[in-house]
Structure formats: structure tokens, C-alpha cells
Amino acid sequence: MKNLGYLLLAVGFIASAYVASLDPQVIIWAYFVPAIAVGVVGLILVKRSQKHSSQNSEVLDTNRDVLTQSLDRVVENLSDLKQRKVEIPTYEMRFEIDRLFRDDLRSFVDARESMIHLYGLQSYADVMSAFAAGERYINRIWSASTDGYQDEVLNYVDKADKQFIQAQAKLREVMQANPAASTALG
């Protein structure tokens, strides 16, 4: 279903672009509208397929575990980095950031939409607000390291640590308030 949707989306886009390019002055609506309609049908199929797979109870259970484990590792690594931040040369901090956080941040972000299905939109917003602030601070550390701003690197390690601890606390609070969220959906 998903592959068919992508195929229809591509065919609709290419066909409508072709029809639009036939004459620079006039669009032949009798061909253009059906081509766009094929693309819209493809988009609808893709979205339905994504929605169905994102609400699968196995995916939700797996993503719940990914969310907690990756956020726990980020907090743990930040705590460790906070202890060692003065020892790490400023220009080397960006490599340490990449080594410690890249995979866990990506894993969390890839699984984040499951929070909506498990705990609701408000809970998602509460957790993601703190997470996004922490992620911005991590990015700021990386940029400051590249530019050689030692004070800024040291300062933002502490700020990122506070934000991720807050995100972790919010996620735990949400999970405790909804312990059977994934089994209720399955």
C-alpha cells in the first residue's frame, strides 16, 4: 500500500509537471487536474499507511523503550560530560558531542511520535519542549566548540544537562500516569 502510494505520488508529480511545461502560456486543465489527483491519492495512501504502522502496538512498545533508554543515556552521558568538561579541549568538544549523543538523539527523535499515541498530544508537547531546548543547547555546544568559545561551551553543557533532566522527569511522570497506555491501544 505504501509503495503504491509513493508510486502514485511520483507519477502524479511528474505528469503534472510535464503538463505544466507543455505550453508556457496555457495550462491544459483537462490533463493537469487528473495528474494532480493521482498525486493526491498517492499522498493519502502513504499517510494512511504511516498512520496505521505508527499505531501498531508492537511499534509503540518498542518506541516506548527506545524513548526511555535513549533519553536515559543522554542524561547519563551529559552528567559524565559535565564532570569532565574542563578537561576536554574546546575544539575537541564537538567530536565528544558527536560520539556521545548523535545516535541517542536520533533514536529519540525517530521514536518521538509514539508519545502522541501512547500519552496524548499535551504530554508529547511537555516532554518535547524540554527535549528540544536541550538539543538546541547541545547544538550550541558543538557550534561554540567549532568557533573556539570555551566559556560558551562550558556554560551550555550545564544548560543542556538541566533541560534533558527535565525532559527525562517529564517522560517518567507521563509514563507513570499512563502505565498501560500501549496495551490499551493493542
Residue 76 sits in a domain whose CATH number is 1.20.120
Are 127 and 162 found together in one domain?
A: yes
**Range list of H helices, 28-56:** 29-54
Amino acid letter, 74? V
Which residue among 34, 53, 72 closes a domain?
Answer: 53
In this model, does residue 182 exceed pLDDT 50?
no
**Residues 163 and 75 occupy one common structural domain:** yes
Together in a domain, 95 and 46 = no
Q: Are residues 25 and 114 in the same domain?
A: no
Q: pLDDT for 11-37, tens place per residue?
A: 999 999 999 998 888 888 999 999 999
Residue 185: closest CA among 59, 57, 64, 61 = 57
Number of domains in the chain: 2
Q: Please tell me the pTM assigned to this model.
A: 0.71
Choose among 34, 46, 35, 36: nearest CA to 5.
46
49 and 59 in one domain? no
Same domain, 36 and 106: no
pLDDT at 178 over 90: no
| Same domain? 95 vs 12 | no
Give the whole-angstrom CA distance, residue 18 versus residue 35.
Answer: 10
Where a domain ends, among 53, 70, 90? 53
Same domain, yes or no, for 69 and 41?
Answer: no
Are both 93 and 181 inside the same structural domain?
Answer: yes
pLDDT of residue 183: 47
Q: Which one, of 68, 146, 71, lies nearest residue 101 by Cα?
A: 71
Q: Report residue 53's pLDDT band, with 50, 70 and 90 as the boundaries.
A: low
Most confident of 63-67, 111-115, 116-120, 163-167: 163-167
**Local confidence band at 128 (pLDDT 50, 70, 90 cut-offs):** very high
Q: Do residues 61 and 41 share a domain?
A: no
Q: Burial-class residue 167 by CB neighbours within 10 Å (0-12, 13-18, 19+).
A: buried
Question: Which residue range(s) make up the domain with 25?
Answer: 2-53
Examine the fold and report which residue of 53, 73, 89 is the final residue of a domain before the chain moves on. Answer: 53
pLDDT digits (tens, 9 = 90+) for 111-125: 998 898 889 899 999
Average pLDDT, the chain: 90
47 and 125 in a common domain: no
Q: Nearest 5 degrees, angle CA 10-CA 14-CA 16?
A: 115
Question: Is pLDDT at 181 greater than 70 in this prediction?
Answer: no
Residue with cell 538539543: 135
Say yes or no: 118 and 173 in one domain.
yes
